[in-house]
Amino acid sequence: MSDLPPWFDELYVCSGCGLDYASVSVDGAVRLVDAVVAELPGVLRGVDAEALRARPTPLEWAPIEIACHVRDVLAAFTVRLHRGLAEDAPILDPLYGDLRAARFGYRDASLDAVVEGVRANGRGFAAEVAAVPTDAWEREVSRRNGLHQEVRSLRWLVRQAAHESVHHRNEIVRASAPR
């Protein structure tokens, strides 16, 4: 058995942030990521220093941890996209976000370093998307989840990266709102 949440399907609509995969083109997804990358530094710098590192509940990440996750998502999805082009039907590793947050000290991360990491990884992600040939968007990648294998297109990877960026930016905005 696996404790991994299943991947969203190719045409997922998020009830939390409203992102509708079917209505987002690859170029639109990159624009969404670019917008989050541009907005996130100001959002993070607007969060009270204590709230930046405070978890709303023990199971919810602090805003700085969410930003670290967005940074890592952009790096991981850049590599996933590259592997989807360079390899035939690669099997991708899970992100293990909670493990990364704990082992790599997300809550103690330097805000400036996280902001620069998000910017750099956003640029790298956009460059990798731009390198994908038009006829390659239906190439497939997969991930093992328990006893089954989840298969998704390269197009889905880009939409999923956009969803992760938008959804988590919204979480940071909510977490930083006065209570």
Averaged over successive runs of 10 residues, the pLDDT of the chain (179 residues) comes to 80 95 98 98 92 91 96 98 97 92 95 98 99 98 86 98 97 79
Asked if residues 172 and 44 have their Cβ atoms less than 8 Å apart, the reply is yes
How many CB atoms are closer than 10 A to CB 83? 16
| Segment holding 140, helix H or strand E | strand 140-145
pLDDT of residue 1: 40
* Superfamily, domain 24-176: dinb family like domain (1.20.120.450)
| Segment holding 142, helix H or strand E | strand 140-145
pLDDT of residue 110: 96
pTM: 0.94
pLDDT of residue 178: 66
Task: Give the burial class of 124: count Cβ atoms within 10 A of its Cβ; 0-12 exposed, 13-18 middle, 19 or more buried.
Answer: middle
126: nearest Cα among 70, 72, 65, 75: 75
Asked if residues 151 and 141 have their Cβ atoms less than 8 Å apart, the reply is yes
Map residue 129 onto helix, strand or coil. helix
